[in-house]
């Protein structure tokens, strides 16, 4: 049966880096008057909710259609964006827990990293039922409980697919989505997660069942939003169509791999979905296996993850022909990084943030010091002019082009 989708078509026109990265425009009384990570205050220059304040709100110029609205947190410098075209505000740099809360990192280090992230304005913490066989969720839950931070001040996401060894403990059946999410909530010691992601598509499960199950967990208060991870554009569109056909809840964003050497999906496919149906992007792996840090330089140091038992695949990747070519490209970027006064890692993270439709980039770090360095990418972001981006594209030689 053919499904007719009613959605707003917008011109997929190219916009300059400056247009994408600018924050809310100043209001009539000065200041940005926008929402910041510190909370909702009265508009600058306003005196509360009187006629003048209401007039200021009415006269404020509207944001460009389709633009990600960005604001800066007071005291932290963190930037916040809407998650796709939903109303949820997330820090443009989030913290992933695959590395930080994995089996190789102590609980004390994990707590240090989470504390530094939160104090620097990071409000998005991403985990999954499969990370360290559930240990990542338990560690995150224990830390959040001990800290006593307001639940309304941070965003927790988890991913469902790989839950256990039994056939019914994996995949995206209604049974596993509901039971898997309840298991995650028990380990996290939370009543709900902000976003539950379907961690890859499931060819063995009908799309209608997946969308209905996600709608159910949201209606039951177990999650506030749902999204996809590692889904193709056609699959995301199918889920959206199914939701519209049966009056269900569609996904709000896609988690996708994105870095200097993986560009096609985030730069060519997802922006179209963002404009057509409002699905944004949360990207991960900005520094794939540490390749974009120039720390390997053709070899594998004893102190890096690639030398740890069980990470032979990473060592093989670093020492492969593609790995060596990528490391050579990283060395070519060193002059650009030096010109901007930053590290290659900071340059790579800022480069990911400038992509259209990207709401947040997830960082994977093994220490608080490493996290602080990576947060420095926020200062680099404003220096990424169109000319600098063109220079980086020229050095990489892998800019994707439309096949239309």
Could you read off the pLDDT of 75-90 as tens digits, one per residue?
Answer: 899 999 999 999 999 9
- Between CA 265 and CA 211 the distance in angstroms is 23
Distance CA 122, CA 118 (A): 5
Instruction: Spell 150-162 as b/e; 16+ CB within 10 A means b.
Output: eeeebbbbbbbbb
Tell me, yes or no, if 225 is annotated catalytic. no
What are φ and ψ of residue 289, in 5° steps? 55, 20
Average pLDDT value for residue range 382-392: 96
Predicted confidence band at 74 (pLDDT cuts at 50, 70, 90)? Answer: confident
pLDDT at residue number 100: 76
How far apart are the C-alpha atoms of 253 and 86, rounded to whole Å? 9
The four Cα atoms 336, 337, 340, 342 give a dihedral, to 10 degrees, of 180
Residue 22 is predicted with a pLDDT of 37
> Which domains, and CATH codes, for the chain?
80-291+355-366 (3.20.20.100)
Structure tokens at 97: 């827990």
Is 70 exceeded by the pLDDT of residue 178? yes
Of the listed 80, 118, 131, 225, which one is catalytic? Answer: 131
Asked if residue 387 has pLDDT above 90, the reply is yes
Q: What is the mean pLDDT of residues 99-124?
A: 91
Distance CA 20, CA 137 (A): 34
Question: Which value, to the nearest 10 degrees, does the dihedral of the CA atoms of residues 156, 92, 147, 184 take?
Answer: 20
- The pLDDT of residue 44 is above 70: no
Does the pTM exceed 0.85? no
> What is the pLDDT at residue 101?
82
Check: CB of residue 97 under 8 Å from CB of residue 91. no
């Amino acid at each position: 049966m053919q499904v007719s989708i009613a959605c707003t078509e917008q011109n997929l026109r190219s916009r300059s880096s400056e247009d994408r990265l600018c924050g809310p425009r100043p209001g009539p009384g000065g200041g940005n008057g926008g929402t910041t990570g510190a909370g909702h205050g009265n508009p600058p220059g306003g005196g509360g909710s009187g006629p003048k304040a209401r007039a200021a709100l009415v006269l404020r110029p509207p944001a460009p259609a389709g633009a990600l609205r960005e604001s800066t947190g007071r005291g932290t410098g963190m930037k916040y964006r809407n998650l796709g075209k939903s109303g949820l505000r997330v820090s443009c740099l989030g913290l992933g827990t695959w590395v930080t809360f994995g089996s190789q990192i102590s609980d004390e280090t994990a707590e240090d990293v989470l504390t530094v992230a939160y104090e620097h304005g990071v409000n998005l913490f991403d985990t999954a039922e499969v990370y360290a066989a559930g240990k990542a969720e338990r560690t995150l839950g224990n830390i959040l409980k001990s800290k006593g931070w307001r639940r309304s001040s941070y965003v927790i996401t988890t991913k469902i697919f790989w839950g256990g060894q039994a056939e019914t403990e994996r995949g995206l059946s209604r049974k596993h989505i509901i039971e898997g999410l309840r298991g995650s909530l028990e380990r996290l010691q939370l009543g709900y997660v902000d976003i539950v992601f379907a961690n890859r598509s499931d060819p063995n499960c009908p799309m209608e069942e997946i969308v209905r199950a996600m709608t159910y967990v949201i209606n039951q208060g177990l999650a506030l939003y749902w999204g996809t991870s590692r889904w193709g554009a056609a699959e995301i569109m199918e889920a959206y169509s199914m939701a519209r056909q049966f009056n269900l809840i569609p996904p709000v964003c896609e988690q996708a791999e994105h870095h200097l050497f993986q560009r096609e999906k985030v730069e060519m496919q997802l922006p179209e979905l963002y404009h057509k149906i409002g699905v944004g992007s949360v990207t991960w792996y900005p520094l794939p296996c540490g390749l974009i840090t120039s720390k390997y330089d053709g070899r594998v140091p004893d102190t890096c993850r690639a030398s740890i038992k069980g990470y032979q695949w990473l060592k093989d990747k670093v020492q492969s022909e593609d790995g060596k070519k990528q490391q050579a490209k990283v060395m070519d970027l060193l002059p650009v990084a030096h010109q901007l006064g930053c590290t290659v890692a900071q340059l790579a993270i800022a480069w990911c943030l400038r992509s259209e439709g990207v709401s947040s980039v997830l960082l994977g770090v093994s220490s608080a010091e490493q996290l602080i360095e990576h947060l420095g990418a926020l200062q680099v972001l404003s220096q990424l002019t169109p000319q600098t981006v063109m220079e980086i594209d020229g050095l990489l030689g892998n800019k994707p082009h439309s096949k239309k």
